[in-house]
Structure formats: C-alpha cells, structure tokens
Amino acid sequence: MRLGRDKTFWIVVGGLFLLYGIFRLGVVGLLTTVGALLVAITVHECAHAWAAEQLGDPTARLMGRVSLNPLVHLDPMGTVMMAVTAVMGMGIGWGKPVPVSPHRLRYGPRLGNGIVALAGPAANLLTALALGLVLRLLPGSLFGVGGVLATVAFTNIVIAMFNLLPIPPLDGHSVLLGLLSLSRSRIAWQVSQFMLTLQRQGPMVLIFVIILTQLAGFNLIGWLIGPPTRLLFRIIAGI
C-alpha cells in the first residue's frame, strides 16, 4: 500500500490515532512523545550517515542523509509503528535504513560497518547526555520544559539500548561482528558464522523474538534494555 495512492485511508488511520492519542496522553503528552521519537531517530540515522562519510563511503551523503531534517530519515511503516508506540505504549519504530557500502569503508567491511553501526546509538547517548546537563542546570521544572527534555533524553537512551541488542537487523549485530573481526580465534570465527546466518534471515529474527516472548508472557526486550536504560537515565539526568 502506497501512501500517495491511499491518502484517504492514511488520513482516517492517522485521525483515529490522533484522537485516541489525545484521549490517552493529552495533546502535550502526545506531541512530546512523538517529538521525542522523531528527535531520537533523526539523530540516530544522521549519525550513521555521518560516520559512513568519515570512513570513506559518501553514498549516504550523496543521498542527502547527513542531515538533521527528520523528513529525509522517515520510513512510512516505521513512522506508523512510531505512532503505535507513542499512543499504545507498545511496539517499535524505525527510520529509513542508511545506505552503506561496507567494502568502501576504512578498516574493512566488518570493522568499518561496526563503527558506522555504533555511531547511531552513540549519538543518541550523547544527545541524552547534553539534555541531562541542561536538566541539571535548569531551575526546577521551568514551565514544563524540564519534563519535555527528560522525555527526549529518556527516549534517546531507549533507542540506543534497543539498537545495541545483537539481533539483526539492529546495530548491535553489526557492532558485535566488528568486534569479532578483531580476533583470530576459532570461537570468534564460529560466533561470526552464526551471526551471519542470523543476518540472512533479516528482520524476521527480531520479529520472532518479540512475538515469541510476548506470547510466553515475558517481555524479553524490556527485561534486557529496561535496567540499563533506567540506570543511565538516573546517572545522566539525575532523576
């Protein structure tokens, strides 16, 4: 289904989500949550593109992806999932994948791609750190600004921790492959081969993990990223 050809459908769906979101979160809460997701995903994808450029692959730059304009990073289905996340408090969202030619990267395709992958979560954590410093200097909850900044900081940490999971197609998978490429041991080679086998299954691995754990009544993703996210948020924001 294409957004351009089905405008009426998407307007209706968007309107329903908007009404429910306002009912559940309020106007300010909905705008803050969606805005925080847009900031986090834009920073994340822009960092990937910038890192690839620094390592010798100009593909993303030539496609205009080294930009903090959220419109160049939004993926239609990922945006819908962001709306679900914001309104329902469940689900995931994602941006348009940054095109990278691993064989053009400095340090080789494995390590170079790992560095590019790590740049996204690192940028989210740096954004959260910058906002945390502002929160610590901000006098009280200045007209609610503190709450907005705290939400944006927390969302950036969540995006970083989620993407660092070593499950394809998340960044953590490429980061782990990059780290394994530094070792010449047999076990590193065996783990790399297993990770590459998972990679060939694409997003289905992640979807399978999410669905299976939800059916089992155990939120594995939340259990893995929840504690480090809360700890980092307390350290960074002092809240």
Q: What are phi and psi of 95, to 5 degrees?
A: -100, 175
Give every CB contact of residue 109 below 8 A, 6+ residues apart in sequence. Answer: 102, 103
53 a catalytic residue: no
Name the catalytic one among 21, 34, 43, 45.
45
Half-sphere exposure of 112 (CA within 13 A, CB side): 18
**Cα 137 from chain centroid?**
27
Nearest to 237 by CA among 155, 131, 162: 131
Q: What are phi and psi of 235, to 5 degrees?
A: -70, -45
Token reading at 122: 């690192």
Alpha carbon distance 154, 151 (integer Å): 5
Alpha carbon distance 143, 147 (integer Å): 9
Please list the active-site residues: 45
